[in-house]
């Protein structure tokens, strides 16, 4: 206990954590704010199926794009450890490999995205109006996929290189452009749901170009040369691909859970799927804010592991955990006391509002339950311990499925109870693995691939 108190009182660690966390919180909050603007703009159109189309179409796109989140998370750990060693050549290799992977995956996903969306919509059984608008929205969003994936790789690399200002610039530019164009296209030009999708595409390409320009400036602080010959060797790709493979499986499982919430909500009616989308915007808001502290864990713990500094590793974790708990309590109180206002700001459709009000207590509980999984993800990402993350997520899903089956008779209440249970088990499984590694000093052992 005395060590924990001493760690919490270390002002230098607080400054280091917030040097990364503060700009990342600001930039991360802009991401769900875009979803809030989308929902607010479309939510004030006259029909629930218009809001539902944005919710379902965005969910389809998110399953594709966020499943590629390993492009960010995989880059962060390797870049952070390279920065800890002072290896500029390795930093350049991680960046180039991440961008090449992003382009290859964008082409592949673009080719399979349309048929996969057809299959998904078939199982959702949406109304005719919801079906067509969802297709229009999703097909338009696919044009921004290459830029979105490139931005993932860039943001992860910048975090690992201890540069939190560049991700702030990328995400703020992307999301501010998105907000401005959304208002213009949907309200000013009356382009409706498709206008919202077009705004996102233009914004994603703008952010990627900003990131490429900033990467050049960042590399000046890390002397080194790219080993071009190494890019043609399998062994130079194997560690990154192994970590990315495991993070991909983990991310795919996680996004499938979110997608299944949308699928089940669609089966319960247009008002329910729209209400769940508004509530999930609240989850996105808290997750992205708390992820700012998780990003600090990624960067600082990865740097500490690269430098083999056990004290820095422990202090970074203690300080980030303390601030995350404080923030999660704040968000829980916010949704508990002002949740109705949060819903009202997003839509004036009466049945959607009434439906969302009933499930606000679940949203208030989520930050307190989910915060620990965010922090643990940051630790495992910084340590490039992706296999453990993958196994923990798969085990969590297997443990949750029987409860999901039993609770499905409770309708949307059962859906939200299952989701809370899933997030609890996610923290528990990762926490158990982290505790075992800590006891055996396993964080500083060579990772297995």
User: Is residue 449 pLDDT above 50, yes or no?
Assistant: no
* Per-residue pLDDT, 124: 62
Highest mean pLDDT among 28-37, 42-51, 127-136, 251-260 belongs to 251-260
Q: Residue 105: enclosing H or E segment and its boundaries?
A: helix 88-124
Contact yes or no for 40/179 (Cβ under 8 A):
no
Q: Which of 239, 301, 202 is nearest to 93 (CA)?
A: 239
User: What are the pLDDT digits (tens) for 291-309?
Assistant: 888 878 887 887 788 778 8
Provide the H-helix boundaries in 125-191: 128-141, 145-160, 165-182
- The arithmetic mean of pLDDT across residues 422-427, rounded, is 92
Closest CA to 332 of 362, 364, 307: 364
What single-letter DSSP state applies at residue 190? -
pLDDT of residue 128: 66
pLDDT 10s digits, 299-344: 788 778 877 888 888 888 889 889 999 999 999 999 999 888 888 8
Give the integer Cα–Cα distance in Å for 136 and 117.
Answer: 11
**Residue 283 CA: distances (Å) to CA of 19, 178, 386:** 24, 20, 24
CA distances from 309 to 168, 174, 209 (A): 27, 36, 36
Q: How many CB atoms lie within 10 A of CB 402?
A: 9
Burial class (CB in 10 A: 0-12, 13-18, 19+), 281: buried
CA 45 – CA 188 distance, rounded (Å): 13
| Sequence spans of domains, the chain | 2-444
Identify the CA nearest to 158 among candidates 21, 27, 299, 19. 299
């Amino acid at each position: 206990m005395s060590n924990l108190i001493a760690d919490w009182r270390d002002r230098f660690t607080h400054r280091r954590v917030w040097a990364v966390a503060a700009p990342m919180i600001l930039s991360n909050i802009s991401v769900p704010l875009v979803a809030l603007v989308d929902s607010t703009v479309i939510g004030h159109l006259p029909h629930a199926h218009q809001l539902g189309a944005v919710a379902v179409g965005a969910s389809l796109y998110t399953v594709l794009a966020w499943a590629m989140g390993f492009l960010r998370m995989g880059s962060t750990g390797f870049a952070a450890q390279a920065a800890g060693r002072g290896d500029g050549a390795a930093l350049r290799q991680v960046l180039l490999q991440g961008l090449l992977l992003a382009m290859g995956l964008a082409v592949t996903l673009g080719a399979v995205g349309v048929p996969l969306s057809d299959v998904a919509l078939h199982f959702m059984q949406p109304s005719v109006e919801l079906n067509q608008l969802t297709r229009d929205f999703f097909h338009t969003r696919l044009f921004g996929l290459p830029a979105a994936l490139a931005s993932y790789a860039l943001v992860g690399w910048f975090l690992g290189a201890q540069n939190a200002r560049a991700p702030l610039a990328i995400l703020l530019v992307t999301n501010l452009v998105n907000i401005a164009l959304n208002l213009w296209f949907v309200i000013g030009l009356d382009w409706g749901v498709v206008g919202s999708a077009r705004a996102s595409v233009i914004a994603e390409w703008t952010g990627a170009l900003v990131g490429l320009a900033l990467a050049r400036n960042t590399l000046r602080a890390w002397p080194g040369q790219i080993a071009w010959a190494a890019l043609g060797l399998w062994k130079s790709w194997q560690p990154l691909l192994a970590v990315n493979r495991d993070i991909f499986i983990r991310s795919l499982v996680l996004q499938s859970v979110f997608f299944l919430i949308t699928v089940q909500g669609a089966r319960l009616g247009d008002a329910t799927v729209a209400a769940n989308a508004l509530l999930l915007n609240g989850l996105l808001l808290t997750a992205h804010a708390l992820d700012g502290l998780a990003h600090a864990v990624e960067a600082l713990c990865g740097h500490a592991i690269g430098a083999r500094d056990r004290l820095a590793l422990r202090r970074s974790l203690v300080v980030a955990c303390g601030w995350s708990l404080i923030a999660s309590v704040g968000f829980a109180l916010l949704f508990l006391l002002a949740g109705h206002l949060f819903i009202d700001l997003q839509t004036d459709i009466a049945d959607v509002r009434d439906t969302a009000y009933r499930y606000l207590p679940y949203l208030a509980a989520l930050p307190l339950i989910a915060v620990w999984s965010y922090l643990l993800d940051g630790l495992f990402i910084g340590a490039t311990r992706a296999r453990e993350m993958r196994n923990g997520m798969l085990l969590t899903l297997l443990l949750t499925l029987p409860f999901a089956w039993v609770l499905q008779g409770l309708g949307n209440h059962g859906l939200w109870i299952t989701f809370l249970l899933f997030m609890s088990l996610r923290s528990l499984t990762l926490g158990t693995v982290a505790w075992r590694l800590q006891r055996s000093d396993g964080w500083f052992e060579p990772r297995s691939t």
